[in-house]
Amino acid sequence: MISDAKKSFETGKKKQAPGILSDDRPQPHNLNVEKAVIAAMLYEPEYCIDTAVEKLGAEKAEGAFYSPAFRTLFKTIADMHKNGVSVDLVSLAHTLQKEGKLEQIGGELFLTEIRDSIATTANIETWCGILREFAILRDMINICVMSVEQCFDSEANVDDLVGEIETSIYKVRDSYEQSDILPFKDHIRETFKNIEKVLRKEVEVGIPTQFAGFDKMIIGLKPGEMVVLAARPSIGKTSFALNVIRNIALKADRHRSVAFFSLEMTAEQVTRRLLCTESDIPESAFFDGSFKRKLDMPRLTKAVDTLLKANIYIDPTAGLTIADLMAKARRLKSKHNIEVVVIDYLQLMKVGGRVESRQQEVAEISGGIKKLAKELKVPVLVLAQLNREVEKGATGKASRPKLSHLRESGSIEQDADVVAFLHRDRDETKDITKEAQAQGVDAMLIVEKNRNGETGIVELSFHPKTMEFRCKSRYSDEDNPERL
């Protein structure tokens, strides 16, 4: 017979928050399935131990067991296997005895009873799947309990609290997600099917930015990719990003939804900038008296009508945390099916907790952005600052930005699929005449890293009056968005 001490240990309940969950109400679990998994690990250790660790998740596996006894057994067996110790009843009992846990779980008789409780290990993966589902439910219960307690805290910031709760819930799901390891032949078949669809133009590889040279080089903004656009202040990276947003949102064949997280500009400033570019009216005209009502008002109202068709969602939250970004982007994806995310800019973001250094904080932010792109299966265009080294005493080609000039963290270079630098002579804009400015100032987009393609330079012209970048080559419908 199994001792009362062992029974108590086997079915022990986790402490619940008083007043929310009753102490005599156990959380979701199935002890028979937990026993079956342990039995399979003893019955066929070489295969079943690795299978259980993989299917339950290496970091979460132990917590998949509700029973403290089975949790102890799983950890002991997994540790023995990891350390190269053969797993059988005798060696397991010996290890438990040394750790003072053998009698606690019911002794050698209980180990024999567990091993003999199944006739086959064929269903080990199914059993692990059941344990994962119960573990997710228990984690959700615990998150909800903590959330209820936090909601009673009258001093809590509501926005921050909601963001933390939402992030915690997504973490539960993410921590149990698994990607199956498929045979190479399955990948070959799937890849070949996708190539055929591309060749038949049934699918679009990447979303065109309407900057022909850039699109040719990177094959458009591709789902799951993190594209970094970096420059020194006042070069025009926000303007270029807004040009891209406008081009994507107003593309003639289909208006795509774009999310723009502007940490530096207000929603009104962003909207005004888009209106000026679309209407070809300088922003200064609204404030210095040069606005010509008869000539400019029709162009402005036409731009308003055009932009009203654009599905652009602007979040002007300053000091946005990576957790807030991910939560908001998920909601926008779910509610509006956004196809592109743009962030202006990375170094203004925060982690939201204590970190050892700014470099570590930027690394966490960069990694989070890459994770967001993969999770939502959308391209993320993120703007970034370059450090001052790019401007120190260099001229000509030597003054062009390099990957080493990315400010504060090498992890940005590591995480990004594409890194492009926007470069031009800022002083040239000040020195040339208005007539010359109307023709455009020389600029270049330097694609320094392209994980899936070539690198090179795209020649552009910058028009300061309307803060617009254009392809320097002869214009065509592919180079410029249609003004609807």
**Alpha helices, DSSP H only, in 308-399?**
322-336, 358-376
Q: Locate 34 and state its tokens.
A: 């937990």
Nearest to 381 by CA among 338, 423, 351, 350: 338
Q: Please, what is the average pLDDT of the chain?
A: 81
Q: Is 198 a domain residue? A: no
In a domain, 273, yes or no: yes
- Cβ partners under 8 Å of residue 196, min gap 6: none
Q: Supply angle C-alpha 332, 190, 452, rounded to 5.
A: 65
Residue 452 has pLDDT above 70, yes or no: yes
In a domain, 8, yes or no: yes
Q: Residue 100 pLDDT more than 50?
A: yes
Mean pLDDT on 298-307: 89
User: Are 11 and 109 in the same domain?
Assistant: yes
The three-state secondary structure class of 67 is coil
Position 481 scores a pLDDT of 45
**CA dihedral sign, ordered 22, 23, 25, 28:** positive
Q: Looking at this protein, which amino acid is placed at residue 79? A: D
Choose the weakest-confidence range: 275-284, 390-399, 464-473: 390-399
Shared-domain flag, residues 159 and 215: no
- Please indicate, yes or no, whether residues 108 and 170 belong to a single structural domain of this protein: yes
* Residues 114, 221 within the same domain: no
Nearest to 3, CA basis, from 113, 139, 79: 113
How far is 217 from 186, CA to CA, in rounded Å?
Answer: 29
Instruction: Looking at the structure, tell me whether residues 334 and 378 fall in a common domain.
Output: yes
Express each pLDDT in 248-257 by its tens digit. 998 756 788 9
Does residue 185 form part of some domain? no
Per the CB < 8 A criterion, the answer to whether 469 and 236 are in contact is yes
Q: Is residue 428 part of a domain?
A: yes
pLDDT tens digits for range 171-205: 777 666 665 667 888 788 888 888 888 788 777 78
CATH number at residue 98: 1.10.860.10
Predicted pLDDT at 184: 84
Which residue, of 176, 194, 214, is where some domain finishes?
A: 176
Same domain, 171 and 211: no
The model's pTM is 0.68
User: In terms of residue numbers, what domain contains 334?
Assistant: 203-471
Q: What is the tens place of the pLDDT at every residue in 423-441? A: 887 665 566 666 656 677 8
Q: In angstroms, how far is the first alpha carbon of the chain from the final one? A: 82
Average pLDDT on 390-411 reads 67
Same domain, 253 and 118: no
pLDDT reading at 233 higher than 50:
yes
Q: What pLDDT was estimated at residue 174?
A: 67
- Do 155 and 210 share a structural domain? no
345 prior amide bond cis, ω within 30: yes
How many whole angstroms separate alpha carbon 66 and alpha carbon 138? 9
**What is the pairing mode between strands 441-450 and 418-424?**
antiparallel
Structure tokens at 206: 């990447």
Do the strands 340-344 and 380-385 form a parallel or antiparallel pair, or are they unpaired? parallel
Q: For position 14, what pLDDT does the model report?
A: 47
Categorize the per-residue pLDDT at 477 as very low, low, confident or very high, splitting at 50, 70 and 90: very low
Shared domain for 308 and 390, answered yes or no, is yes
Place of tokens 């703007």: 383
Q: Do the domain assignments include residue 45? A: yes
**Same domain for 220 and 122:** no
pLDDT band at 484 (very low <50, low <70, confident <90, very high): very low
Q: Which tokens sit at 275?
A: 């209106």
Cβ atoms of 263 and 318 closer than 8 Å: yes
Query: Same domain for 245 and 364?
Result: yes
Mean pLDDT along residues 24-46 = 89
d(CA 262, CA 316): 5
Task: Examine the domain organization and report whether 170 and 231 are in the same domain.
Answer: no
Lowest mean per-residue pLDDT among 6-15, 216-225, 294-303, 381-390: 6-15
The edge-to-edge listing of strands for the beta sheet with 468-471 is: 311-315, 257-262, 340-344, 380-385, 226-231, 418-424, 441-450, 456-463, 468-471
CATH number at 321 reads 3.40.50.300
| pLDDT over 70 (residue 44) | yes
Residue 311 has which token pair?
């599905």
Contact 87, 45 (CB under 8 A): yes
The residue count of the chain comes to: 484
Q: Is 183 inside a domain boundary?
A: no
Q: How many domains does the chain have?
A: 2
The answer to whether position 115 is within a domain reads: yes
CB contact at 8 A, 380 and 322: no
